[in-house]
Chains A and B, each alone.
Chain A
């Protein structure tokens, strides 16, 4: 008899009786879950752009001491020294798959006229396109004709930035460049504009290259090569795989979003939990007599405790589900923000995925349970006779 549990329908029906208060506390939890999920969906979209996209056999070389491409500078005559390294892969014609690329974040106007943002323009060589391979694809218009003042623009950028649609003309310093193609890239390159490195260097009056990028020949020990080149006599370089390079770019903003998400979610979660605790306290208070009856017909303390905890958990669960429903429409929405590491506008999409939603629901049920702990405890320790008299 002591082990008998209160039927599951009891807490559910009790919730229905006090549906206004239950709904309000669930909504409170939903709000905090929505904010938490929203920030983490932002982070997870940003992370997807950087973490899973870089190639492991493509190496990026910058000048030693530089922490990003913007700071790096490699004299033009040194680029050839990189090209002839034995570790570099070669194409069918025997040409090395290495390219000196220029990089500069341009001030460009947003398409919605809300001010200027920094958008990277990258000067590339024909070899660059071969190195990046299938990850880089033209989705509209045509490919770049090297030797002319033409550019191709990343898909999200073409929508977000003025003068970047197919057929537009973009002024780079004092030289007009024609947009001949729109490209797609799974990674951070989708927020860039690409053109012929020689034409762009001339237009910007910047002869230096910012990085060399090379595909490694099959069988090369990439890590050993990176270690060796760091102290090379002629071309000491800060080298890393493209994958690591993208991950390094993620640093600061990724951290900020995690801190922000936890902070906001945590604070709102506490507030929502206090609200839910209120509801549960009132629920226990108004059902003192019922608890007394239940106890006197033989339900044990554990059964009472579990009944009220279930009730609290259901409030949490409902809040979690509502919160998830609120953020679900965010999935796939494209947004842009400044990447503080590179100081450039980075376009990416919110990403609401199953692990995020499951975690959110777990957190909300936990919030409900914690909120129900004290009230449930109180209910379990009511003395049956007194409870019936008082209620």
Chain B
């Protein structure tokens, strides 16, 4: 007696019902993968961060610039190899909806400190040589159709130009990133260009630097260097908080508040909904099959056969649906990445999500098959034959 074949036959005895169940599971599993991926993608930037870089920012406010004079003092601290400056520019490209990050920074230091940024050698030199030059991530270059040599106008919001006209940057390079902690949706330009414009009055806005990025000397631990910097500025003029790159990135995720919890709760509701759906299908199926189960038992099959039949059928239904949903999650990655844009620049479905979703499918399948299976096992053949219509 071939059990697998019987399972297949039974599952397909009502093709519409099987289809509806598979569809419902597929849709819900896709949603589950999607929700989980938002959380893991946000975390990915944190996990991939380098332990050899620490970041000094204001301890008072995310929006408070540090004095430019700090960079010389930080460079003197033992364990500091290089210090680069990053200023959040906050410019608007044509429309405020076109949001992407722009930083004024020290070009050579940036590329030294971030081997993750891949830029062709000729682009590097061209950027170093052009004071108005900028490099952009492949993501925004594709989104806005920029290529090397193009001029990008950005209207200053924190740093408006005195005449009200936009800033103009020339694209000198397009970079790619090799790790998730560096996104491909950012624009970098010369920090000195901004500082000189503020000095001369061509631009308004706060002087200074949003953060200092420090690469550690070999043999030094981030914690002691960070402590030394923060102690030095404990009495002001601006208190600093220095932390590893990972912790700095994690702060941003935490600021989203209880987003992971919130999405987790919805995910749980989805799981319960899938379970209900499959239990429903299996209950209906079991009701209709009372008589055939009775026949099986009357023929002398043990209790284990109906149990296995139901467990296999429900697991099969869930796995097919789940497989479709998981496949959909895999297929939609590029589209969703484009949709999220700068919000989650590295959206992707992690390997552990595929695994967790598959495990969830098997679990739901077994659980949903259990109720009719146990009922069928307890069934007395005569009764089943009489009751089943």
Q: A interface vs B, CB < 8 Å? A: 20-21, 24-25, 27-28, 31-32, 34-35, 63-67, 70-71, 73, 104-107, 114-118, 172-174, 204-206, 208, 264, 267-268, 270-272, 274-275, 277-279, 281-282, 285-286, 335-338, 343, 345
- How does the 8 Å CB contact mask read for B249-280 relative to A, with 1 for contact and 0 for none? 00100111111000000100110111011011
Contact A268 B254 (CB under 8 A): no
In the complex, what's the smallest C-beta–C-beta distance from B199 to chain A, in angstroms? 16
Contact B17 A281 (CB under 8 A): yes
Sample (22) of A-B pairs whose CB atoms are under 8 Å apart:
A20-B283, A24-B283, A25-B276, A32-B273, A66-B157, A107-B58, A107-B59, A115-B254, A173-B236, A173-B238, A206-B64, A274-B20, A275-B20, A277-B20, A278-B21, A278-B280, A281-B14, A281-B16, A282-B17, A282-B284, A337-B256, A345-B257
Q: Tell me if B23 counts as interface (CB < 8 A to partner A).
A: yes
Partner of B254, one of A66, A114, A172: A114
Residues of A contacting B287 in the complex (Cβ-Cβ under 8 angstroms): 21, 282, 286
Residue of B nearest to A116 (CB): B251
How far, in angstroms, from A267 to B157 measured CA to CA in the complex?
39
Partner of B60, one of A32, A65, A204, A282: A204
Interface centre among B17, B206, B256, B280 (most CB of A within 10 A): B280
How far, in angstroms, from A267 to B96 measured CA to CA in the complex?
30
**Given A73-B205, A115-B251, A115-B254, A279 and B280 touching (CB < 8 A)?**
yes
**Given A63-B160, A71-B158, A174-B235, A107 and B60 touching (CB < 8 A)?**
yes
Contact B62 A107 (CB under 8 A): yes
**Given A31-B272, A73-B206, A107-B60, A65 and B157 touching (CB < 8 A)?**
yes
In the complex, what's the smallest C-beta–C-beta distance from B166 to chain A, in angstroms? 10
How far, in angstroms, from A162 to B325 measured CA to CA in the complex?
43
Residues of B contacting A270 in the complex (Cβ-Cβ under 8 angstroms): 23-24, 27
**Given A64-B164, A268-B28, A281-B17, A174 and B277 touching (CB < 8 A)?**
no
Residues of A contacting B288 in the complex (Cβ-Cβ under 8 angstroms): 282, 285-286
How far, in angstroms, from A114 to B256 measured CA to CA in the complex?
12
Contact A71 B90 (CB under 8 A): yes
Contact B17 A278 (CB under 8 A): yes
Contact B155 A65 (CB under 8 A): yes
Contact A24 B276 (CB under 8 A): yes
How far, in angstroms, from A66 to B158 measured CA to CA in the complex?
7
**Given A271-B277, A278-B281, A264 and B20 touching (CB < 8 A)?**
no
Residues of A contacting B164 in the complex (Cβ-Cβ under 8 angstroms): 64-65
- How does the 8 Å CB contact mask read for B12-38 relative to A, with 1 for contact and 0 for none? 001011001101110110110000000
Residues of B contacting A286 in the complex (Cβ-Cβ under 8 angstroms): 287-288, 389
Q: Tell me if B239 counts as interface (CB < 8 A to partner A).
A: yes
Residues of B contacting A117 in the complex (Cβ-Cβ under 8 angstroms): 254-255, 257
Q: Tell me if B219 counts as interface (CB < 8 A to partner A).
A: no
Task: Given contact pairs A67-B96, A274-B24, enumerate 16 new A-B contacts (beta carbons under 8 Å).
Answer: A24-B280, A28-B280, A31-B270, A31-B276, A35-B266, A65-B164, A104-B64, A107-B59, A117-B255, A173-B60, A205-B237, A275-B281, A277-B20, A281-B20, A336-B257, A343-B62
Contact A264 B31 (CB under 8 A): yes
Contact B256 A338 (CB under 8 A): yes
Contact A272 B277 (CB under 8 A): yes
Q: Tell me if B204 counts as interface (CB < 8 A to partner A).
A: yes
How far, in angstroms, from A173 to B27 measured CA to CA in the complex?
50
How far, in angstroms, from A174 to B236 measured CA to CA in the complex?
7
Q: Tell me if B63 counts as interface (CB < 8 A to partner A).
A: yes
Partner of A118, one of B27, B62, B238: B62
In the complex, what's the smallest C-beta–C-beta distance from B321 to chain A, in angstroms? 10
Residues of A contacting B272 in the complex (Cβ-Cβ under 8 angstroms): 31
Residue of B nearest to A75 (CB): B204
Residues of A contacting B276 in the complex (Cβ-Cβ under 8 angstroms): 24-25, 27-28, 31, 275
Interface centre among B158, B276, B283 (most CB of A within 10 A): B276
Q: Nearest 4 A-B pairs (CB), nearest first? A: A274-B24, A115-B254, A275-B277, A65-B160
How far, in angstroms, from A155 to B389 measured CA to CA in the complex?
65
Contact B269 A31 (CB under 8 A): yes
How far, in angstroms, from A365 to B30 measured CA to CA in the complex?
25
Residue of A nearest to B26 (CB): A271
Contact A271 B274 (CB under 8 A): yes
Residues of B contacting A277 in the complex (Cβ-Cβ under 8 angstroms): 20
Partner of B280, one of A21, A73, A106: A21
Partner of A271, one of B24, B238, B239: B24
Residue of A nearest to B158 (CB): A71
Contact A268 B60 (CB under 8 A): no
Residue of B nearest to A121 (CB): B61
How far, in angstroms, from A286 to B288 measured CA to CA in the complex?
8
How far, in angstroms, from A33 to B28 measured CA to CA in the complex?
14
In the complex, what's the smallest C-beta–C-beta distance from B332 to chain A, in angstroms? 12
